[in-house]
């Protein structure tokens, strides 16, 4: 029996704001959408056009307050082949939340506060 990664999920409070962020900050675009028949939730799967891995954004229509992410002791990581340009874009967007120059990485924060690590492609 073998397993392979399919997707990772973030619950989002404002779907349109999140879709805009992921497109502008990381170039991720919807590849599939599923809506509940009663409209209570929407799932949007974002892809990077180069791997099969997907980020699932879950939007709950009746959610009234932002999510409590706890101590946020987890993150999603994306590679880039141009750290300098990526860093400049994220700096201009004001989304960099932590930098570790010694390791050559930094983190950005999405509209809901999820951390995303940006690492150089090896």
Catalytic residue numbers, as ranges: 117
b/e map 34-72, b = 16+ CB within 10 Å: eeeeeeeebbbbbbbeeeeebbbbebeeeeeeeeeeeee
Alpha helices in the chain (DSSP H): 15-26, 83-93
* DSSP string over 42-60: EEEEEE-SSSS-EEEEEEE
Residue of 116, 112, 2, 4 lying closest to 58 (CA atoms): 112
């Amino acid at each position: 029996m073998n397993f392979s990664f399919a997707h990772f999920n973030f619950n989002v409070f404002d779907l349109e704001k999140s879709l805009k962020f992921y497109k502008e900050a990381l170039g991720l675009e919807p590849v599939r959408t599923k809506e509940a028949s009663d409209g209570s939730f929407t799932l949007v799967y974002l892809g990077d056009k180069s791997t099969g891995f997907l980020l699932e954004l879950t939007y709950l229509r009746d959610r009234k307050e932002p999510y409590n992410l706890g101590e946020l002791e987890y993150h999603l990581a994306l590679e880039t082949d141009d750290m300098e340009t990526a860093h400049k874009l994220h700096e201009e967007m004001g989304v960099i939340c932590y930098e570790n120059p010694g390791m050559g990485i930094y983190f950005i924060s999405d509209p809901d506060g999820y951390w995303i690590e940006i690492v150089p492609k090896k």
